[in-house]
Amino acid sequence: MPEVFNELERKAFLRFCATLVSTGILVLESALMFKKEYRFVWRAPVNIVKCIYVLSRYPILFFQIADSVVVSTRLRVVPVSRGLCILWFSVQTCATVLSLALLEAILMIRVYALHEKSRRIGKILACSLFVEQFCSISMAILTLRQLSVDDACVATNTPKGAVAFGGVSIAQQLLIWGLTFKRRSFLRTLNDAGRRITQVMMRDGTLVLIGVSMAIATMIPYSLYVDQVTHVLFSIIIPLFSVSTCRLVINMQDLNTEISSVGSQELTSIEVSSVQPPPND
């Protein structure tokens, strides 16, 4: 019995450490980015990009701080009551779905702008996001119903809903990246400013695709065949999604100031002009 409790306490301690470290990194990142945030976000007019940034930055930051308090107090004492544990998992799952949705929304807005605000692309992206959110919520409910936890509030199984959620998330990232890649040939018709903007979008989209896919493709199989990682999983992916979303916005707005031919403060209003061939003499 002492060995069992030592193992449970070890899991609780790892969750405590991971949560505090990720919260500290998130606070530090927010402080480091505040100067640019004030310049590009708070001084800009209200628009959808600004709303997504604020939602991804501050509610997630406050949530992470509150989670650190809970993890440092109620979840540090083993055994953890099942009611509290299920509540904690439910809140963490909701935060994960929300933070990922915000990340995908900002990526979709960028793709929509890259396709020159095509109605067809807009409908595809909107329907895709709606379907994904419906599936994510359904799978989250299924996951919580199938979830089994131990006295340290660590999952002892990997529900099928969690596996399906991972698959849907990767599929969504592939769609976003594919629509971005589809416009790659359009680079040849752009001026230098437009070409650079599109290259940044390709780079950012690829990095997000690789990051999300690797996280899901690593953690789910590890949980299935090796050991559970839910005691550290949420503390990693929620801040990661938040930071990625905010960085995507700031990076693009920062790029705008470096390109004299683009004066927009909002990605969706960026206009890139085609390079016209010189007239024949």
The predicted-structure confidence for 148-192, as pLDDT tens digits, reads as follows: 888 888 888 888 888 888 899 999 999 998 888 887 766 656 666
- The Cα-based distances of 160 to 74, 90, 157, 199 in angstroms read 28, 16, 9, 37
Question: Is residue 271 over pLDDT 60?
Answer: no
Per-residue pLDDT band at 98 (split at 50, 70, 90): very high
pLDDT tens column, 191-214 = 666 677 777 777 888 888 888 888
Give CA–CA dist 28/63, Å, rounded.
15
Q: CATH 1.10.3470: does it fit domain 1-249? A: no
Query: Is residue 136 a contact partner of residue 168, using CB atoms and an 8 Å limit?
Result: yes
User: Region 14-23: what's the mean pLDDT?
Assistant: 93
Which pLDDT tens digit goes with each residue over 66-84? 999 999 999 988 888 989 9
**Which is higher by pLDDT, 125 or 162?**
125
Bigger pLDDT: 120 vs 275? 120
Amino acid at 170: I
pLDDT band of 5, cuts 50, 70, 90: low
Residue 10 predicted with pLDDT over 70: yes
Highest mean pLDDT out of 3-7, 40-44, 244-248, 263-267: 244-248
- Per-residue pLDDT, averaged over 12-36, amounts to 93
Write down the H helix ranges in the chain: 2-37, 48-72, 82-114, 119-146, 160-182, 192-225, 230-258
pLDDT digits (tens, 9 = 90+) for 127-147: 999 999 999 999 889 888 888
Is the model more confident about 260 or about 97? 97
What's the pTM?
A: 0.85
What was the pLDDT predicted at 3? Answer: 53
- The ranges assigned to domains in the chain are 1-249
Q: What percent of the chain has pLDDT over 70?
A: 86
SS (H, E, C) 94-161: HHHHHHHHHHHHHHHHHHHHHCCCCHHHHHHHHHHHHHHHHHHHHHHHHHHHHCCECCCCCECCCCHH
pLDDT score of 265 more than 60 = no
* Residue 45 predicted with pLDDT over 50: yes
d(CA 279, CA 281): 6
